[in-house]
Amino acid sequence: MAGYRIRPYRDEDYDAAREVFATAMSEYAPALCLHVLRQPWVLLLLGCSFCLLLASARSLLLPVLALTLLLALGRQVLGCAWHTYVERCLGDDLHDIRAAYMDTPGARFWVAEADERVVGTVGVRPAGEEGELALKRMAVRKDYRGRGIAAALGRAVLDFARRQSGCRAVVLNTVMLQHEARALYERLGFRRHRRYVLPTAYGRLANCTVTTYRYDLP
């Protein structure tokens, strides 16, 4: 027995669904810090700063303390930036899930329920291109992963898309941090369609790459 069920969203799921998504997305903050830290310009900046301080200081203590403070400050800034992104998602389609998904033609939102609680979410909405649906807000609580819940949520989206007249494909976006998510989508039959750097100053500085996946319906 699977020990969970996938069902359509109900209004009483609102707080739990938003909390599942926000918590799952917040887990990427440490990975974002490591990703940015590995960028060549960041390593060069830290290395030059350390060498300059070491050359001007009489001891190793000052450069080490300064580098530690720079790293702590960078972590704080990146953490705030990621938190802002999550809050923007909560203020967008997740602000009114019923209006955005359940009452919109061609859209739907599901939750995964286990142990009498919401443990996963996923939604689908019309995408920018005609005949395409966009998979959105896939998330599963950390302590319920590895049970096939995310795959079941993905299949619910694909089954829904097959029933929509004129739907040719399901598309989705992932960022460079979502390694497990990309592996899941590829197992479900999605194919990499496009890869690009986020066209913002932050995206270019952090080398924030977005990979678009596509599932063509027969």
Residue 114 has pLDDT above 90, yes or no: yes
Residue 2 placed within a domain = no
Residue 175 placed within a domain = no
pLDDT in tens, 6-52: 999 999 999 999 999 999 998 888 888 888 888 888 888 888 888 88
Q: In the sheet that 132-140 helps form, which strands lie side by side, from edge to edge?
A: 5-8, 108-114, 117-126, 132-140, 169-175, 209-216, 191-197
Residue 195 placed within a domain = no
Residue 166 placed within a domain = no
Residue 56 placed within a domain = yes
User: Residue 115, by phi and psi: left (phi above 0), alpha (psi -120 to 50) or beta?
Assistant: left
Residue 75 placed within a domain = yes
Residue 45 placed within a domain = yes
Tell me the pLDDT band of 105, cut-offs 50, 70 and 90.
very high
Count of structural domains within the chain: 1
Length of the chain: 218
Distance CA(118)–CA(107), nearest Å, equals 20
Give which of 125, 114, 147, 148 is closest to 7, Cα–Cα: 114
Task: Give the Cβ contact number of residue 150 at 10 Å.
Answer: 23
Distance CA(17)–CA(137), nearest Å, equals 10
Q: Six-digit token pair at 191?
A: 């194919």
Q: Residue 51 carries which side chain, given as an amino acid letter?
A: C
- Report the pLDDT value the prediction gives residue 76, as an integer from 0 to 100: 86
Mean of pLDDT over the chain: 91
pLDDT in tens, 142-165: 999 999 999 999 999 999 999 999
Q: What is the domain extent for residue 58?
A: 29-90
Residue 120 placed within a domain = no
